[in-house]
Structure formats: C-alpha cells, structure tokens
Amino acid sequence: MKAALRFVPLVVLAILTGCVSMFSGMIFSPTGGEINAHNSSIAIVAGVDNDMNVAVAESMTEAIARNSTFKVMPAKQVAQRIAGYPQQVKGPYNSADITIDINYSKTDLKKVKEIMRKLGTDYAYVIWAPTGYSRTAVARNTSGVSGESKVYPAVAQLFQGPDAKVVGQGRFDVCAVKYVPFTTASDADVKDAIEYTTEIVSKYVAEKSGALKR
Amino acid sequence: MHNKLHRLPGILPAAFLFLLLTGCGVHKPFVPMDGPVIVTPATIAIIGGDTSEPTQHLAEFLSQELSRRTTFRVMPQEEISRRLAKYPVNLALADAFEQDKPVWVVPEEKTKLDAMQESLKSDYLFVIWGYGLSRETAGFGNNTTYSITALGNLYRYPNGRPVAFTYDQNDRGMSFLGVFKGEAYDIEKLLRDSAERIAEKFAMATNTGR
C-alpha cells in the first residue's frame, strides 16, 4: 500500500498538467518483433500541416534526443530536407474531425517512403495530430462540472527506411486539462502539456526500440 | 386590448423570452457584398482555408453541390491539388465576426490567394473554412450536438475583389445511426448540410441555378 502511494503525486501531476494514455501498450508497440535501434539515426516528422503538429514534432525531437541513444536529426534540418515541410501525409486513420478514428492500414506509405529517401535516416517517427488546429475542434461538456480543457489526440508510426517498413505504432493525447469550472486552458497550459506528453512518450518509444538511455 | 392581453396564456411570454435569450445563431450562407453578383458562364475553384479535415471536407462538399446546382464550371479538388505547388494550405483567418460584410482573408494573405488564382486561371475563387467544429454533450452524455460555422468569401478576378461572404452557423444532434456508425457520420451530414445551404443561396444570388 505504502509503495503504491508513492505514485499518487505523479498521478495527480499527470491529471493537472496533461494526460497520456494510461496504457503503455497503446502509446507505442513494436509491430513485427523486437526493434534494435540503439545508436541508429532517426528523424521526427509532423504528418499534418498545422501548428500543433509541428510543435509536438519539435518537442518530441528534443525529448527523444534527451532520453534515447538515437542519433536525432534536428527539427530545422528535417524542415530543410523536405520541400514544403510540413507536408500533408495521409495518416493512419479513417477520419479525424474531433477524435481520430484510427486505422493503421490507411497511411500513405508511398509518401512516407519518399520522405524517408529525402531524410536519409535509418528511422522516421511520423506524428499525426490532425485536429491540432486549435480553432477547429473542441469537445465541450456543458454539464458545468469542469473547466474547458484542450485535447489534441495524436497517432504515430515508426518507419524503418528505405522501404518505410512500419516497425512500431501507437497513440497519445496532448491534454491541457482544466478541472476548475469556468476556466479555460491557455496557450501556456498547452505548451506545458506538449512538453509533458512528449517526455513520457519519448521514453516509451526509446525503451521499446532498444534505445533507452541508461 | 388590455383585457385580451390578460387572456394570453402565461406560458407564451416565457416561451418568447426563452427563444430571445437562447438565440438561433448567424445564418448567412451566401450574401452579395455590393449589389447583385453578375456572372457570365465562368470557372470557379473552391479553396479550403486551412488543412483541417472539417475545412477540407466542406470544400469538397461545396464543390460537389455547386457542380450539381449551378452552371459554373467547378474545378475538382484533385485538380486544384495538382495545379498548386502546395494544397491544402493554411490561410490566416481575420477576426471579422463583428463586420457587416466580413472579409475573412487577412490582407497580408491576399497575395497568396492571387498567386493561387494565377496558377488555377479560374474566374472566381471561393475561400471557405469549416470553423469551430465542436461536440457539446449535456446531461452526462444523453444529449450530444455537433456545431460548425462556415466562413467564406467569393473573389472575382481579374480584379481580385471579394464580392460575397458566408457566415453560417449550423448544428445537428447526434442521430440514431450516428450512435452506431461513429461521430464521423453525423459530422459529415452536418458539413454536407452546410454546403447545400451555401450552394442554394449562391445559385439564387448569382442567377446560375440549373
């Protein structure tokens, strides 16, 4: 009981600052057996042309560089290598109006292959946050018992080049949660939520890819 | 007269007050800005104002409805993608909600629009956004409503002036089928309904109905 209680502050912090899927298997899972990516090169790519997606990809780039043994291509270099970055890449979902209806078979693999060829890295971690145009999609609960939170669902796949073979995938949400009634998550809250979420997700990706920094 | 007023059922004034307070939203699917929009047989391209799925779907559905209902030659969205170096695009949206004749494209973005028209060679551009798509759930999940606001302007070339605007709020309750098919079903219906409303008024205002 005492051991379990140690995690209570972490859970409370998670609730207040943001949220990540509670099931690690959903955040990132290898799709075809073990991944041995220790010391391999990787680029983090935004799959949708919107500000939130770019912000998540940039934050994830820094987090993966911090927490893994991957040789991470800086975000600026990714943008330079891919003409017209960020490009719209058809992602692993049927629809993404408010929530993402995930379907991992829907990704435009041809386009990902093209992108990987330009990047020249061993791996590409492509993140799609398609509802991340902040004025576009809002889910409001008008029961009045909570504030207005901002939730940006994301789905991601890890590709191994040059054939862009899918070797891992998962989903996570960037949540700036407000429990106090009549308050709204601010831009600063969203920025904190992005940093918090990418820190957690990067560790899962690194661990499951055999590249966790010890 | 005084006696007749006293005979009104007590509920009626309350009902009127309720309607007044809850409001019915803004409903201006297509409004000419400076007199009638005189149109000869012409080409038009519908440009989604941002890369979000609601806007892209609205642009697609509006293209289909204008093709169906008007004599305009409507450029398919696939052709727009082929002809432009980058499409879809993100055009900054102006805060024109309080204007009588809103122009939704910020002045700094107008050159982008003009460059698109140069590539597409269409007589008209209709820039459209599906803005503020939301899902509101009241009563602990018993009552779900989807809402969206269509914002847009019709530009006539070669002078590139806006000649009409769209500012149309629309909503739709979750349907019985939507419960089984998922929210994409009801959202698609909402967007198609918005596109139909715009296209209907467009055809009337431009006198190009089939």
CATH topology of domain B25-206: Rossmann fold (3.40.50)
Q: Is B88 helix (H, G, I), strand (E, B) or coil?
A: coil
Tell me, yes or no, whether A9 lies in a domain: no
Reported ipTM: the value is 0.80
Q: Is the pLDDT of residue B83 over 50?
A: yes
Which residues of chain B neighbour A55 with C-beta distances below 8 Å? none
Taking residue A131's Cβ as centre, other Cβ atoms within 10 Å add up to 27
Whether residue A136 and residue B55 make contact (CB cut-off 8 A), yes or no, is yes
Which residues of chain B neighbour A140 with C-beta distances below 8 Å? 134-137
Taking residue B157's Cβ as centre, other Cβ atoms within 10 Å add up to 18
pLDDT in the model for residue B36 = 77
DSSP 8-state class, residue A39: T
The end-to-end CA distance of chain B, in Å, is 51
Residue of B51, B86, B131 lying closest to A50 (CB–CB): B51
Tell me, yes or no, whether A79 lies in a domain: yes
A138 min Cα distance to partner chain B (Å): 5
Tell me, yes or no, whether A10 lies in a domain: no
When pLDDT is averaged across residues B172-199 and rounded to a whole number, the result is: 93
B133 to chain A: closest CA residue = A137
- Number of domains observed in the structure of chain A: 1
Cα–Cα distance for residue pair A22/A8, rounded to 1 Å = 14
Domain boundaries, chain B: 25-206
Cα–Cα distance for residue pair B6/B51, rounded to 1 Å = 57
When pLDDT is averaged across residues A141-169 and rounded to a whole number, the result is: 83
Which residues of chain A neighbour B184 with C-beta distances below 8 Å? 94-95, 97, 101
> Of B112, B133, B146, which to mutate for an interface test with A (greatest number of A Cβ within 10 Å)?
B133
pLDDT, tens digit, 9 for 90 and up, residues A161-205: 889 999 999 999 998 887 777 788 888 999 999 999 999 999 999
Tell me, yes or no, whether A1 lies in a domain: no
List, in sequence order, every beta strand (DSSP E) within chain A: 29-30, 41-46, 71-72, 93-96, 100-102, 123-128, 137-141, 150-160, 165-176
Tell me, yes or no, whether A195 lies in a domain: yes
When pLDDT is averaged across residues A90-111 and rounded to a whole number, the result is: 95
Whether residue A101 and residue B138 make contact (CB cut-off 8 A), yes or no, is no
B182 to chain A: closest CA residue = A101
**Residues contacting residue A184 through CB under 8 Å, at least 6 positions apart:** A147, A148, A178
B138 min Cα distance to partner chain A (Å): 5
Residue A53: domain span: 21-208
Tell me, yes or no, whether A121 lies in a domain: yes
B50 min Cα distance to partner chain A (Å): 8
Tell me, yes or no, whether A13 lies in a domain: no
Rounded to two decimals, the pTM is 0.84
Tell me, yes or no, whether A45 lies in a domain: yes
pLDDT, tens digit, 9 for 90 and up, residues A57-87: 999 999 999 999 999 999 999 999 999 999 9
pLDDT in the model for residue A137 = 52
**Residues contacting residue B50 through CB under 8 Å, at least 6 positions apart:** A50, A133, A136, B88, B89, B90, B91, B93, B129
Report which residue type is found at B125: L
Cα–Cα distance for residue pair B191/B207, rounded to 1 Å = 24
pLDDT, tens digit, 9 for 90 and up, residues B23-44: 468 999 999 998 877 777 799 9
- Please give the residue that has the higher pLDDT: either B200 or B182: B200
CATH at residue A26: 3.40.50.10610
Residue of A49, A87, A101 lying closest to B182 (CB–CB): A101
pLDDT in the model for residue A143 = 52
Which residues of chain B neighbour A131 with C-beta distances below 8 Å? 52-53
> Of B135, B151, B181, B188, which to mutate for an interface test with A (greatest number of A Cβ within 10 Å)?
B135
Interface of B with A (CB under 8 A): 50-55, 57, 85-86, 88-90, 93, 130-140, 182-184, 187
